[in-house]
Amino acid sequence: MSNQNRRASACALAAALVLAASLPARAADAEQDVGAEMRKLPWQVGPAAGDVGSRSKIQIPDGARLLPESSGSRFLELTGNLPEPGDTVLIRNNWWATLSFSDSGYVKDDEKLDPDALLASMRKSEEGANEQRAKRGIPALTIDGWIVPPHYDPATKYLEYGLKLHSADSPQPVVNYTMRLLSRRGYETVTLVTRPETLQQDVQDLHQVLGGFAFNPGETYSEFRAGDHVAEFGLGALVLGGAAAAAVKAGWFKGLIAALVAGWKLVAAAVVAGLAALKRLFSRATGR
């Protein structure tokens, strides 16, 4: 399974953009530099139509911004993530999300999901994964359980789930919320970056935005034809392959943990100040 299958993202902007007056000049200057670099990126401001990679499009709603795939890696770098190709970035209100496509082939959706069994499989590999994290100096991660159990909608062809975890070096819980949008030749992974306490509201907002998402003609799930490549896995494997463990390092300007361990990409939940900083940054840029 490709790196795109385990995509995840995190916001590492500090609150200096919000509280710059109370910070040392050097820290404030550093955050202003990040803000300046952010504003240089080719954001599309809604309402507008935008491309999501080469296989789909989205109607960008009012108050949202879309960053094309060609600049997604730079955004990840600026927010303290490992820069990777293939991510389209969407920002709205107090959340942001990455969208990336995996050309795995047509995923059959006739598998019945067993959330308890899937969670047991994740926990079974937890000890070995934490041993690898320890070798890299990365704090251990413990799976607390589903905050949103895996569920699949046969009408929309959306698979989604939310996993709650905590890091050994931080009491703050971490939520990783993932959606898989099935298509004829693979699936789009949507990774939501937000706070646990606003997850329900932000998931609803994300669903509203995705109402304007569509695969291009010829790419939809219903357009599967005999002879098309069929993926060697089903819905359960999509959940296991996308269960990204997450942790936030405590303290100002310490950034976020990211590494490949046991096939999972470690991500971090967005800190409140970082999301507020992004919102303030764009509000000042547009005068809204």
Every domain of the chain and the residues it spans: 3-286
Condensed to tens digits (0 to 9), the pLDDT of residues 111-165 reads: 999 999 999 988 887 787 788 778 877 778 788 899 999 999 999 999 999 988 8
Query: What is the pLDDT averaged over residues 1-8?
Result: 36
Give yes or no for residue 261 having a pLDDT over 70: no
Contact residues for 182 (Cβ-Cβ < 8 A; gap 6+): 107, 109, 157, 158, 159, 221
- Containing H/E element for 273? helix 272-286
Condensed to tens digits (0 to 9), the pLDDT of residues 6-23 reads: 333 333 332 223 333 334
Distances (CA, A) of 56 to 12, 65, 70: 28, 17, 15
Give yes or no for residue 242 having a pLDDT over 60: no
Provide the phi-psi class of 186: left if phi over 0, else alpha when psi is between -120 and 50, else beta.
left
CB neighbour burial string for 100-122, b if at least 16 within 10 angstroms, e if fewer: bbbebbbbeeeeebebeebbeeb
Contact residues for 26 (Cβ-Cβ < 8 A; gap 6+): none
Q: What angle do CA 202, 208, 211 make, to 5 degrees?
A: 145
Q: Which residue has the higher pLDDT, 165 or 81?
A: 165
Q: Which residue has the higher pLDDT, 269 or 197?
A: 197
